[in-house]
């Protein structure tokens, strides 16, 4: 696509969702499909789970595609995303959702675990958004970027120094990118979930966790997805550089 090329404003709008094969990512894919977006589902290894989400998206009448790559691998991101954009055109939006954690008290954190968490959670901001941002700008139809951060990135959490560092870094990066892209009508916002019923808390004492939350329950993936859905709506066109918490009143 040439630097001055534009995209037909009536063309289908595609959204890339990283980590879209399960949990919050799956809920986001389905919510955005229900809003009329075609979905490119990124996943790292679980092809069967991603294919199941794609089938759910297509059941809504939207188009789904699968993009297998590790968001922490810069070369793999560039290869997959540049190729997909060349074949299918630029994205209208991106949801940076993929993330991992390796909880440990700070004195016992292994260097390789620290590096893995920062590479997957924070480096992915560059790895994913850098190849797709200029095509979004050149399309000249605005756009949306939502970055999934965390309550830990706002308030910290014992045993999650690496995770909190990566999520706090995402907030700063998103605020800066929001200022760069605002004049292009591309918004960049963060969503900060608290304790949500996903695979990341499997094995935890749910009743004990719920007692920490003013609403006395864990959140649902669909409740996080609803906020992303709003940020992708026309009603959110003047919101950028913000972080919206979804945590049942924990802050």
Distance CA 151, CA 193 (A): 6
List the structure tokens of 190.
Answer: 């963060």
φ, ψ of residue 240 to 5 degrees: the values are: -155, 150
Residue 113 Cα distances to 119, 161, 184, 190, 220, angstroms: 10, 11, 37, 24, 28
Q: 131-156 burial, b for 16+ CB within 10 Å, e for fewer? A: bbbebbbbbebbbbbbbbbbbbbbee
Nearest to 55 by CA among 69, 35, 43, 41: 41
Distance CA 61, CA 77 (A): 28
Residue 201 Cα distances to 1, 85, 106, angstroms: 43, 35, 20
Which is catalytic among the residues 91, 126, 163, 238?
163
List the structure tokens of 225.
Answer: 């997805």
Q: Is 91 annotated as catalytic?
A: no
- Catalytically active residues, by annotation: 163
């Amino acid at each position: 696509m040439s630097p001055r090329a534009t995209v037909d404003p009536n063309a289908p709008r595609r959204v890339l969702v990283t980590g879209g094969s399960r949990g919050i990512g799956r809920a986001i894919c389905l919510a955005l499909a229900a809003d009329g977006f075609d979905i490119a589902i990124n996943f790292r290894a679980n092809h069967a789970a991603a294919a199941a989400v794609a089938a759910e998206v297509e059941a809504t009448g939207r188009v789904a595609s699968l993009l297998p790559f590790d968001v922490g691998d810069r070369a793999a991101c560039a290869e997959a995303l540049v190729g997909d954009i060349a074949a299918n055109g630029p994205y209208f939006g991106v949801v940076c959702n993929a993330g991992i954690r390796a909880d440990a008290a700070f004195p016992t954190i292994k260097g390789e675990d620290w590096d893995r968490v920062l590479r997957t959670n924070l480096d992915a901001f560059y790895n994913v958004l850098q190849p797709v941002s200029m095509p979004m700008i050149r399309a000249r139809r605005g756009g949306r970027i939502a970055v999934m951060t965390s309550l830990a990135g706002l308030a910290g959490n014992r045993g999650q120094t690496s995770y909190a560092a990566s999520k706090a870094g995402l907030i700063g990066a998103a605020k800066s990118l929001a200022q760069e892209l605002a004049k292009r009508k591309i918004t960049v916002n963060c969503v900060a979930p608290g304790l949500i019923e996903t695979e990341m808390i499997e094995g935890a004492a749910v009743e004990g966790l719920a007692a920490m939350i003013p609403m006395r329950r864990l959140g649902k993936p669909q409740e996080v997805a609803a906020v992303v859905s709003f940020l992708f709506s026309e009603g959110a066109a003047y919101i950028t550089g913000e972080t919206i918490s979804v945590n049942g009143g924990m802050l």
